[in-house]
């Protein structure tokens, strides 16, 4: 294998334009102190030769690596991929992240890290040392892992914490969970529901709590009860079966349920079906995530669309900006939307779809 060198380097451009390396470098990096005429001449050579800087060399000389690293939980991610149940969290991350990176000449790279292991620091440290990314995006459940955030802070690498409002280093970002839960609750209230149950996520996820808050607040504002109408699940199907059963077994069961994940919504459909409850006639249902499967259920689910793509896109922008200006200290929130489909209707109504 021929030793592969850069085919056209900054030297070639400098020679072609008849200037020093430094001037070419200045043009590439859009730095000041280059006369327009000069800049144009250099740019012409760059275009002519098809020159593209080597990010390895740029990184070596102490500047940027043009790499943004997104850290996902290894086990959860691999489980999703293997299960092939249509969870497109990673795809949405790529959609927002890759395209935004590309706009700025960056690339996004995904790294799987095992949160539970005791060598998180070694794993992450190795990735940081090897790649030297200019920014890191942490997704739950990594976002609030102090071993991880501490390491990043210590190394001075800008990072975003998706799904975290905590104080501390890094940019806290949320997908508007409280707001999104309000949207769902409002929708049901407007349809005439008064007893609205909520299937929450596990305590380990901060965002699970924020969603409860949104629901509770909206219910309280409307003068509606929430007592005994909230059950916890773990986002998975089985836990949804239990939670939905508990809610529907109550003396005064809800006429509508908001589930904090698509899997728990699927479970609720199953529980309703077993009890002969028609959705949406006897029970309205709203789910969170809006992953692909919700359109293939009977009926298709009204769902909160978590703005994964938009949030990651924003994270990338903030991380790239972090080189120049201080990142926001307050949590950054990107709101989701409610997508209305056939699983919600007024109490006792058939639904329109």
**CB closer to a copy of itself out of 36 and 62:** 62
Q: Which does 162 bind (CB under 5 to 8 A by kind): a copy of itself, DNA, none?
A: none
Q: Which of 42, 68, 320, 322 binds a copy of itself (CB under 8 A)?
A: 322
Subset of residues 63 to 102 that bind DNA, contact rule: CB under 7 A = 63
Cα–Cα distance measured from residue 205 to residue 352, given in angstroms and rounded to the nearest whole number:
35
Subset of residues 43 to 72 that bind a copy of itself, contact rule: CB under 8 A = 50-57, 59-60, 62, 65-66
Output phi, psi for 239, to 5 deg. -65, -30
Q: Which of 297, 306, 333, 343 binds a copy of itself (CB under 8 A)?
A: 297
Q: Which of 36, 156, 223, 276 binds a copy of itself (CB under 8 A)?
A: 156
Cα–Cα distance measured from residue 186 to residue 199, given in angstroms and rounded to the nearest whole number:
16
Cα–Cα distance measured from residue 74 to residue 69, given in angstroms and rounded to the nearest whole number:
14
Site for a copy of itself contains 90 (CB under 8 A): yes
Site for a copy of itself contains 18 (CB under 8 A): no
Q: Which of 40, 47, 48, 54 binds DNA (CB under 7 A)?
A: 54
Choose one: 34-42, 103-111, 305-313, 333-341; the region binding DNA (CB under 7 A): 34-42
**CB closer to a copy of itself out of 81 and 204:** 81
Site for DNA contains 9 (CB under 7 A): yes
Cβ at position 223, least distance to DNA in Å:
60
Site for a copy of itself contains 325 (CB under 8 A): no
Cβ at position 110, least distance to a copy of itself in Å:
7
Site for a copy of itself contains 99 (CB under 8 A): yes
Q: Is 252 exposed, middle or buried (0-12, 13-18, 19+ CB in 10 A)?
A: exposed
Site for DNA contains 276 (CB under 7 A): no
**CB closer to a copy of itself out of 25 and 92:** 92
Subset of residues 219 to 238 that bind DNA, contact rule: CB under 7 A = none
Q: Which does 25 bind (CB under 5 to 8 A by kind): DNA, a copy of itself, none?
A: DNA
Interface residues toward DNA, by CB under 7 A:
3, 5-6, 9-11, 19-26, 28-29, 32-35, 38-39, 51, 53-54, 57-58, 60-63
Residues in touch with a copy of itself (CB under 8 A): 1-8, 50-57, 59-60, 62, 65-66, 78, 80-82, 84-86, 88, 90-92, 94-95, 98-99, 102, 107, 109-112, 122, 125-126, 129-132, 155-158, 290-293, 295-298, 309, 322-323
């Amino acid at each position: 294998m021929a030793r592969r060198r850069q085919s056209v380097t900054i030297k070639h451009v400098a020679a072609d334009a008849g200037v020093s390396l430094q001037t070419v470098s200045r043009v590439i990096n859009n730095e000041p102190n280059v006369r327009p005429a000069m800049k144009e001449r250099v740019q012409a050579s760059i275009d002519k030769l098809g020159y593209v800087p080597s990010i390895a060399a740029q990184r070596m000389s102490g500047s940027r690596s043009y790499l943004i690293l997104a850290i996902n939980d290894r086990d959860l991610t691999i489980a999703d991929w293997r299960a092939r149940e249509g969870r497109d969290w990673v795809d949405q991350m790529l959609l927002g992240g890759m395209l935004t990176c590309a706009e700025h000449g960056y690339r996004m790279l995904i790294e799987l890290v095992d949160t539970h292991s005791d060598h998180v620091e070694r794993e992450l440290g190795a990735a940081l040392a090897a790649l030297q990314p200019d920014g890191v995006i942490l997704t739950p459940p990594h976002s609030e892992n102090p071993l991880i955030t501490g390491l990043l802070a210590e190394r001075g690498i800008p990072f975003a914490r998706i799904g975290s409002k905590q104080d501390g280093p890094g940019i806290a970002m949320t997908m508007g969970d409280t707001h999104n839960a309000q949207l769902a609750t409002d929708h049901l209230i407007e349809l005439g529901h008064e007893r609205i149950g909520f299937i929450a996520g596990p305590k380990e996820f901060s965002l699970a709590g924020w969603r409860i808050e949104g629901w509770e607040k909206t219910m309280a504002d409307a003068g509606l009860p929430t007592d005994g109408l909230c059950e916890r699940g773990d986002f998975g199907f089985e836990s949804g079966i239990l939670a939905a059963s508990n809610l529907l077994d109550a003396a005064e069961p809800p006429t509508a349920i908001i589930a904090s994940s698509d899997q728990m919504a699927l479970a609720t459909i199953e529980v309703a079906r077993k009890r002969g409850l028609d959705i949406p006639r006897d029970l309205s249902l709203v789910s969170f995530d809006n992953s692909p499967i919700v359109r293939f259920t009977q009926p298709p689910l009204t769902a909160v669309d978590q703005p994964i793509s938009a949030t990651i896109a924003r994270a990338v922008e903030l991380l790239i900006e972090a080189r120049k200006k201080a990142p926001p200290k307050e949590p950054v929130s990107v709101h989701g939307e409610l997508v209305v489909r056939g699983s919600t209707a007024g109490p006792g109504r058939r639904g329109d779809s």
